[in-house]
Structure 1
């Protein structure tokens, strides 16, 4: 191979491009000159680690998991428009596979080949630093910067394997450098063996990084992130897909290892608790729920109440206030998207074309506040007697405040403007091709309340990849699973709800394990809406083939047959219909809301859709690997 390019040009312009044209990574085994130049200087290694951060964070951007779209549109959270090659729609209709590939233009570094490239980069760094005993940062006077960079790299290697595990299930664990001329001999491990290796990398990182980081280092790996990685990996291993669930048409290599073991939930309990109790450099709690502003503050970006007292300042500001980010976000991407995305998601009358539109399936999960002071789902047996009216679902009862922050609906107020989905450019569209919503809803979450196109930039710092509530739910689920409900988890769940100005869970859940689990799962779905969580949760819990959900599917008669099955094969919305007795008044006319089926041809194939396929050309290069079930 030609080794004439300078190492400086390589570092600046071609860092870790793993192709046959890359001089450094394709070097002959006996040519160590460039390698030595890199790994005997701290500044070069520091730059390699910094670039690896960028690579890793681009591989899991919650708002852009499928390039221009989040993963919400291939779940029962949202449906997508036809813009930007209609990438989510290709997933919805099952237009992907090991031979045809993933939908065109959807890769942002989140697939098999991209993730393994990044794993190799991490291994090159770890091997090079050890081999050449890279010196510490000369500008810090030997303060341990190189040790922290090594710790960060261990974390990132474990994190990359976590992303592979989450999407592909059984995978190899590659913790050594693979060179281009090496024989590609890899074999899958069981999920539980992979999790053990992720934990080992997280532990190695934990021993080397700071308890917390501030200033220019804020956002780099700290001990809390390492604990978070362990908890997330253990949670995957404890969920039904890998712990006792009835995986359909099971051809997994290590299926005998996936029988139910309660010890896996006990491990989740301990790991999630460790995150919740993590300390910062001063010995104080590292993470706390954000609680700035109060129940009287409905201020928008200008401090004005322009939402008809529906959207609390705390609930939108939690994604922008640095206090929230510093005290609640465990691992995150900054500046995930900007003004362009915000404008695209707006309704047509505000210059947008609603790229992703919330579904009724998601809207129905936001509870209401009952006269007895507790929160219940709108499909609870008592909902109607408590005042819930499905023809006036948004105002007949007071819904969870997160609903008003997350969803724009017929009659909702944004910037003192009332949304009309009955007529005009924002009316419910006939199909996903139209610019207006074909579900009857528009996105609101992640907006600085009151922002309109043309009023300045709208940089979105999140959502976080992992936030504190996720670990609270994880802990509560593990406690409930292994010992049943208790006062501790009841209080923890209500703590998140109180932060959101939501009514507490009814006390009946304190003595009912199944009811407590219902609240945990609904809380998770509402709090983490549109944060790249639902796509994995519905698969890990195998909801598409759950007997209860399949029974709902069999009992389905028409759109009024709700609650809808969580099998990922259904899409519904609501449209306003003029009615002289309607309770919703918009632009001088009265309406009632009517449910309808959304024609987006949603497909979920068993068992294919549970795991991403490995591309055929990848299997040819690595003949020891086995394709995922159903592909």
Structure 2
């Protein structure tokens, strides 16, 4: 279809799906009457909308290396644009993507005219109709989810819920972010009120999804609740809640409590931390919504250590992150008096999540590496080898330690899944929200009977973590510091840290990272923390709107500072 490019592809929503922007795979040459008269073709349209769900499994360009979680080992990576001052409207690292929203709007406009009357005598007609009747609620969730991702990145964005003509698309304006968040919350409430989505698809009876693995990864009731809860937390946060409206914090606390209570009532509970990633992590007990990304080995080839065959290095955890892991015996930070930290053996006695997440000098990692890691200067996996870790560490989390990436005996690919929502996040979200609403870490009331400290301690008490609980009596500053460390540790490399420092307006923390320089002297190692500066400007709390989009539509205004 020949048509000039316009605002983020929002236009070109004609009545025919032959428009190139509507990329419906094998359905692209057919019109709506063809798509919405066959169950499989309609299912294909919905599956296509699901394909716009995001993931950030660590690779080149992952946001973990655009914040203080990690540092990318190769200087050519585009991710350095976030931290060296190159980021700009003409170099926008754009997330200004409305393609999923455009497809969702098309579906929600046209599905009401679907006609499956010719199929009514098929034996599975009734079961397929049950599945079809859920689709509008799944798609409304997906559209709301896409809008959340846009709002957290850009703030005010055009809120469009209908099919647009080209002229309409070229004249849209940005909607205040509070209205976008409010739309997301109301959509979630409406979906929940309709009560059409299950807790588990395998529990459905007389339904096309009953017991079908092909319906794994679809939107559930608890996923809708999770989107609402996360949205309200962001809305209440300093970046978007400039007047610190306590009512927003209360709504966030209530929504996150609702997630916790619903999960408790439906058998969704915290398990082992080590079960959060891996081929079957979608089956872990605390999972709320997981995207099945696919079978691959590129996370391993990207991040396995330099110095082993085909290991390319990649996202290397920073000492800044390592310092967030407290001492297990005392629950104190490494630099607090009486913590028990030993500078000659810096990884001994630490929070067990460190060893699960990060590979340190001397580790046997991965299983297919024939030698223990040598990340010290001059070591087998250390500088000055090209691409060796600049921080002294390699990544474990989200990687399959059993994959063989060698040329001769490579073991192929394994399934990787991105955790969109899991229960551990919502205990932490609740803790943050109730702390800010009630004003102290120990406070409770008639509605919120679990204090912020209590909620954090649930997460720290996992069977394979078993960290000491936060004590009562913490000052607000002390709780905030410990909470932010806990969140950095618990949610490491799950796509939170980059956004957390922005919604907290804690950009100053991103002006430097710490690397660990390790030297070997005989059988002894010396560990030296080395600061490395990074660029930060407060305009970076929000993304720049691409210049190319503003040229297409002068009604779009740029974010402050860009």
User: How far apart are 1:450 and its partner, in Å?
Assistant: 5.4
Q: Deviations over 1:408-444 (max 9, x none)?
A: 12233334842222355535425xx922111111112
Distance 1:320 1:509 in 2: 35
Map 1:544-555 → 2, pairs under 5 A? 544-545=507-508
For the residue of structure 2 that corresponds to 1:574, the secondary structure is strand
Map 1:17-32 → 2, pairs under 5 A? 17-18=20-21
* Residue equivalent to 2:531: 597
Residue from 455, 458, 477 that aligns with 1:495: 458
User: How far apart are 1:503 and its partner, in Å?
Assistant: 4.3
TM-score by length of 1: 0.75
* Residue equivalent to 1:186: 172
Distance 2:492 2:295 in 1: 17
Residue from 361, 364, 370 that aligns with 1:413: 364
Distance 2:19 2:223 in 1: 25
For the residue of structure 2 that corresponds to 1:499, the secondary structure is coil
* Residue equivalent to 1:485: 441
Structure 1 residue runs without a partner (length 5+): 3-13, 28-32, 103-109, 244-257, 292-314, 546-565, 580-587
Cα gap change, 1:421 to 1:20, in 2 (>3 Å): closer
Structure 2 residue runs without a partner (length 5+): 3-16, 203-211, 443-449
Map 1:582-593 → 2, pairs under 5 A? 589-593=523-527
**What root-mean-square deviation, in Å, do the aligned CA atoms of Structure 1 and Structure 2 show?**
3.1
Distance 2:294 2:23 in 1: 31
Number of positions where the alignment pairs a residue of Structure 1 with one of Structure 2: 517
* Residue equivalent to 2:296: 338
TM-score by length of 2: 0.84
User: How far apart are 1:36 and its partner, in Å?
Assistant: 2.5
Cα gap change, 1:223 to 1:21, in 2 (>3 Å): closer
Distance 2:252 2:476 in 1: 18
Q: Are the counterparts in 2 of residues 212 and 224 from structure 1 also a CA contact under 8 Å?
A: no
* Residue equivalent to 2:57: 63
Residue from 311, 322, 342 that aligns with 1:363: 322
Q: Deviations over 1:309-348 (max 9, x none)?
A: xxxxxx4344237476353222222136722321331112
* Residue equivalent to 1:236: 234
* Residue equivalent to 2:11: none
* Residue equivalent to 1:289: 270
Q: Deviations over 1:530-581 (max 9, x none)?
A: 1111110011111124xxxxxxxxxxxxxxxxxxxx2x121221122345xx
User: How far apart are 1:140 and its partner, in Å?
Assistant: 4.2
Map 1:145-164 → 2, pairs under 5 A? 145-164=131-150
Distance 2:352 2:24 in 1: 54
User: How far apart are 1:15 and its partner, in Å?
Assistant: 7.6
* Residue equivalent to 1:628: 559
User: How far apart are 1:453 and its partner, in Å?
Assistant: 3.3
Distance 1:22 1:330 in 2: 29
Distance 1:509 1:23 in 2: 60
Residue from 544, 547, 561 that aligns with 1:613: 544
For the residue of structure 2 that corresponds to 1:276, the secondary structure is helix
* Residue equivalent to 1:141: 126
Q: Are the counterparts in 2 of residues 577 and 593 from structure 1 also a CA contact under 8 Å?
A: yes
* Residue equivalent to 1:121: 103
Q: Are the counterparts in 2 of residues 213 and 219 from structure 1 also a CA contact under 8 Å?
A: no
Q: Are the counterparts in 1 of residues 27 and 41 from structure 2 also a CA contact under 8 Å?
A: no
Q: Does 1:376 align with 2:332?
A: yes
Q: Are the counterparts in 2 of residues 422 and 428 from structure 1 also a CA contact under 8 Å?
A: yes
Residue from 35, 49, 65 that aligns with 1:73: 65
User: How far apart are 1:488 and its partner, in Å?
Assistant: 4.5
User: How far apart are 1:225 and its partner, in Å?
Assistant: 0.6
Distance 2:157 2:237 in 1: 17
